[in-house]
Structure 1
Amino acid sequence: MTHLTASLSSLALRRRQLLTLAAAGVALPAARAAAWPERPIRLMVGYPPGGSVDVTARQLAEVLGPKLKTTLVIENLGGAAGALGAQRVATSPADGYTLLLGSSNELAATGVLNRAQRYDPLKDFTPIGLVSKAPVLLVAGPKAGVKTLAELVDTVKRQPGKYSYGSSGVGSTLHFAGELMKQRAGLFMTHIPYRGVAPLTNDLVGGAIELAMLSVPGALPFLQNGRLTALGVTGDQRLKTLPQVPTLAEHPLLKGYEMSGWFALVGPKGLPADVSSRLQAALQEALADATLRQRMEDMGSYAASPRDDLTTLIRDDVARFTKLADYARMRE
């Protein structure tokens, strides 16, 4: 009987020890999350320094860092229209110390045509929030011989196949913007893909091609010196920086047209819920900053609204790009 009592006491003690250890095991991750962030956060950008994604990341980091009481360190990893940087983040530990400032290219467009892409934008990231929307410009070079969107549409209708337009690459948001314009207005133009904005702009200014879809920051210097002409903006409203430039949707054949690029903050899949919530709250505080909003407007973009749902945006754009790729026979 004494032996049985001793055994039961031993079991009870062992049970209390296990419960204590289990409780400690549960409490430890919670304590870690409460202390987050304890060190700088790496903010990955899938493009070289100086482009619109990089500039947006640096502007955001300057405001978001103090909200999180840490520093956001920008790391540039260019290649594959942003997909290399996105892949790096998708395979990083989900601890809140590696994030991606991504764009509509690598988070929606590139996977439509690149079947070898090794991540799924809807499954392999934790969405934190939309940062800004960035319409692009339809721009004419000196070879085009047109100064307005109406002149361009009339000319291309009369001379189908004569005109070509360039973009920063096959399957980029700029490429899809051009193909949507062709589809809606019934225009026959040839797409010329470039590896980057610099060679595209050089050829446009030099007269090798007639037209291009360009980001606002990339086009602005050439618009200001008169070497290029903006024919239309792809967003649903005119830009405050270029109020004289109409939207493409203002043309009768392009009613309802809208194709904006966008920038978003995401983390690896499985980001702890409390870390994700803190990031979301800090992002909304940052986007309310008047200086940051003005800087975005100066770049031709505008800050996202708290009502914008990133997951829905990615899903809708992937579906839209897929339909457009099939229509334009991009995947043959």
Structure 2
Amino acid sequence: MTLPRTVRLATTLCAALALAGTAALAQAPAYPSKPVTLVVGYPAGGSTDLTGRTLGEALAKQLGVPVVIENVGGAGGAIGAQKVANAAPDGYTLLVGANNEVAISRLVTKTTRYELKDFTPIGMVASQPMVLVASPSAGVKNLDEFIAKVKAAPGKYSYGSSGVGTGLHLAGEMVKQRAGLFMTHIPYRGVAPLTTDLIGNNLEFGVFVLSSGLPHIKSGKVVALGTTEVKRSPMTPDIPALGEHPALKGMEIGTWFALLGPAKLPEAVVARLKSALAEALKSPEFRQKMEASGSTVASSNIDIGPFLQGEVEKYRKIVQFAKIEQ
């Protein structure tokens, strides 16, 4: 039986379109075929920026294309995170994000419009603890003396952080919650003025990211009371962990850095990025640079999705305890 001419034409056209589609797919360049942008939500020079630049160098070697760092500062990292959440899901705009913008921001300010679901988690990069310190004038040299002194005079003493709703602020509130202390929180516009007041004996206590506080601890300008995790940091085995103390048992709140992309990244792109990240994390050069900055390189087999969800819930409880809202 001979098919009608219109049916034959339609069949021929469908076959031609199918062949054209197959040819287009075959010609589509493999990912990545152009430079990748790593967004860092802070100005150059901070711990997230250092992590981003070190990771960018390592990823460029694995991906075979340039990796460009774009610093998009403002709103505690949230502006940079929002840029990535809004980016095309093609793998060419990624975020090196930390606690503040990834897990905390939406809990403490109504102006943050993105959520975890607006990102594709790729993997953990590194982490480092924070450290609780005392100014020389505070007159305490260890955790026992710190807890006793603050408990004896509720409300008399203050601690500082780099701002309301930051990881440093929440670490201080966790110390208060766990040990049953009453201290006033003093928010600073960054670490520099916080450091000035601690060293100048205008503030009794403060919380730093370990890499920021370490130079001042080593110089004797501030007294390290404890790092904010269950176990001592390999970088500072001489500084006790807060979680070791009975009054703060199990305390665990560090600073971490993760690689994320926009939501709905294609599976093939995610697989390529995860493979490149795993190889970067094993690089001796990458590990040396990160450890020199006070960070512990993450394991490539961490299931990042559940980890991030758990972090959000942990911070939610602290935010509710401290009644933080901007």
Q: Which TM bucket (shorter chain)? A: over 0.9
* Larger displacement relative to structure 2 (47-56 or 160-169): 160-169
* Cα distance in structure 2, aligned partners of 1:48 and 1:106: 14
State the match for 1:303 in structure 2. Answer: 297
Runs of 5+ consecutive residues of structure 1 not aligned to the other structure: none
Q: How far 1:212 moved relative to its partner?
A: 1.0
Instruction: Give matches, 1:261-272, under 5 Å.
Output: 261-272=255-266
With over 3 angstroms needed to count, the CA separation of the structure-2 counterparts of 1:273 and 1:146, relative to structure 1, is same
Work out which of the residue numbers 288, 295, 307 in structure 2 matches 1:294. Answer: 288
Q: Which residue of 2 aligns with 1:63?
A: 58
Report the alpha carbon displacement of residue 95 of structure 1 after superposing the two structures with TM: 1.3
- Whether the aligned pair in 2 keeps the contact of 1:166 and 1:200 (CA below 8 Å) is yes
Structure 2 match to 1:10 = 6
CA contact (8 A) 2:231 2:244 kept: no
Count of aligned residue pairs for this structure pair: 326
In the alignment, does 2:100 pair up with 1:75?
A: no
Q: Aligned in 2, Cα 1:162/1:94: closer, same or farther, shift over 3 Å?
A: same
Q: Which residue of 2 aligns with 1:25?
A: 21
Residue 102 of structure 1, CA deviation? 0.5
Q: Distance in 1 between matches of 2:95 and 2:150?
A: 40
Does the Cα contact within 8 Å between 2:157 and 2:183 map onto a contact in 1?
A: yes
- The counterpart of 1:206, out of the listed 178, 200, 206, is 200
Deviation of 1:277 after TM superposition, in Å, equals 0.5
Partners of 2:265 and 2:146 lie apart in 1 by 48
- Structure 1, 14-23 or 231-240: larger mean CA deviation: 14-23
**SS of the counterpart of 1:143?**
helix
Q: Is the 8 A contact 1:43 1:99 kept in 2?
A: yes
Q: Would the aligned equivalents of 1:141 and 1:209 in 2 still touch at CA under 8 Å?
A: yes
Asked if 1:216 is matched to 2:239, the reply is: no
Q: Give the residue type in structure 2 aligned to 1:20.
A: A
Map Cα deviations across residues 135-192 of structure 1 (whole Å, 9 max, x no partner).
1111111232111111101111111111111111111111111111110111111111
What does residue 149 of structure 1 align with? 143
**Of the candidates 127, 133, 136, which is equivalent to residue 133 of structure 1?**
127
Distance in 2, Cα, partners of 1:157 & 1:111:
32
Tell whether the 8 Å contact from 1:240 to 1:297 is kept in structure 2 after alignment: no
Match of 1:45 among 37, 40, 43: 40
Deviation, 1:294, is 2.4
The answer to whether residue 180 in structure 2 is matched with residue 186 in structure 1 is: yes
* Structure 2 unmatched runs, 5+: none
Query: 2:262 is aligned with what amino acid?
Result: P
> Is residue 330 of structure 1 aligned with residue 324 of structure 2?
yes
Query: Is residue 2:177 matched to residue 1:169?
Result: no
Question: Identity rate of aligned residues, in percent?
Answer: 50
Alpha-carbon distance, 1:30 to partner: 6.7
* SS, match of residue 9 in structure 2: helix
Deviations 1:211-242 (A, max 9, x none): 11101221122112111111100123212221
C-alpha separation between the residues in 2 aligned to 1:202 and 1:273? 48
1:278 aligns with 272
TM-score calculated relative to the size of structure 2: 0.95
Distance in structure 1 (CA, Å) of the matches to 2:271 and 2:137: 51
Give the RMSD, CA atoms, in angstroms: 1.8
